[in-house]
Amino acid sequence: MRVQMLGLCRFSYLGLRGYQRHHATIEERRAFLYDPARLARRWLWLRTVALPGWLAQTDPDFTLVLMTGPDLPQPWLSNLRDLAARHPQLRLELVPPMERHLEACEAAIAPHIDPAAEVIGHFRHDDDDAVALDYIARAKADFAQVRGLWQAEGRLSLDHSRGLMMQVGAGSVRFVPRIAHNMGVALTIFLRPDEGKTALHFNHTKLPLWMPGVAVTRPLMFLRGIHGDSDSGDIGPGIPWEIAPDALDRQLSARFGLARMDLEGLAQRLAGA
């Protein structure tokens, strides 16, 4: 069975809906999203936290669509173009502002659906989060174990729910281990190719309303960034688990290709920005 892994990462996409922060007009939204200092911070997050894991996946057979607006200021638009040109798994989609955010997301994803795929593993990814280096490989392998559930309804959520909450503020970084179900990161929504929906069409906090779900609680699979620019800035519910400081350093490297030194440097640069 051909499974296509297809994700969406919104980079300061200009639209009126789809975010928890409210703005009354498109002009207010544009001023907020395109603030130069904010864009510089988001780029730091993308390059330091999100990209290392995507560029070093053990299974490179996936597509991650970088979605933004055609009027994204420079140099950020050229930076995204350069990324997509260098890495075949990354595709840039410039979507004009749309009133209905989910339609905008569908417009970004639709050109990249593989007509030969029998099932699409949709995922969303924020530019301040990270997935493990084997996320794509494990999502495919775990789906193969439970695809009978998908075949019954044509929909299935696969939740890799063991992660680290990375709180960044005042020039420091703190890691909080959590098993957190359906956080939205390392969460795959398996749909039929003709469904006409993306992962963002389903509120990740209410997935059981629409489909069966499977939670996979090992191994460590995601890192979620929590900071002043977060659209949702709290840790949220979850089950704590323990990890020793030296084991944390090893896991950051082995699972995400990240170094604590770089993440602490990110925190300091953000504090000085």
For the segment 109-121, what is each residue's pLDDT rounded down to a tens digit? Answer: 999 999 899 999 9
Range of the domain at 73: 3-272
- Give the pLDDT band of residue 1 (cuts 50, 70, 90): confident
Q: Which two tokens stand for residue 269?
A: 């640069």
Q: Which two tokens stand for residue 60?
A: 């490179």
DSSP secondary structure string for all residues of 34-99: T-HHHHHHHHHHIIIIIHHHHHT-SS---EEEEEE-TTPPTTHHHHHHHHHHH-TTEEEEE----S
For residue 5, what is the DSSP state?
A: E
| Between residues 234 and 189, the one the model is more confident about | 189
In this prediction the pTM is 0.95
Q: Which two tokens stand for residue 139?
A: 């999502």
Cα separation, 133 vs 148, in Å, equals 26
Cα separation, 65 vs 108, in Å, equals 7
- Tens of pLDDT, residues 144-189: 999 999 999 999 999 999 999 999 998 999 999 999 999 999 999 9
3-state helix, strand, coil in the chain (%, to 5): 40, 25, 40
Q: Which two tokens stand for residue 8?
A: 């969406």
Burial of 20 (0-12, 13-18, 19+ CB in 10 A): exposed
Average pLDDT estimate for 43-62: 98
Asked if pLDDT for residue 273 goes beyond 90, the answer is no
Number of independent structural domains in the chain: 1
Cα separation, 144 vs 146, in Å, equals 6
Contact 222, 186 (CB under 8 A): yes
- Give the pLDDT band of residue 24 (cuts 50, 70, 90): low
Cα separation, 22 vs 15, in Å, equals 11
Q: Which two tokens stand for residue 134?
A: 């084997």
Q: SS3 of 114, please?
A: coil
Residue 234's pLDDT is 72
Residues 6+ apart with CB under 8 A from 250: none
Which one, of 21, 79, 49, lies nearest residue 270 by Cα? 49
- Tens of pLDDT, residues 78-109: 999 999 999 999 999 999 998 888 999 999 99
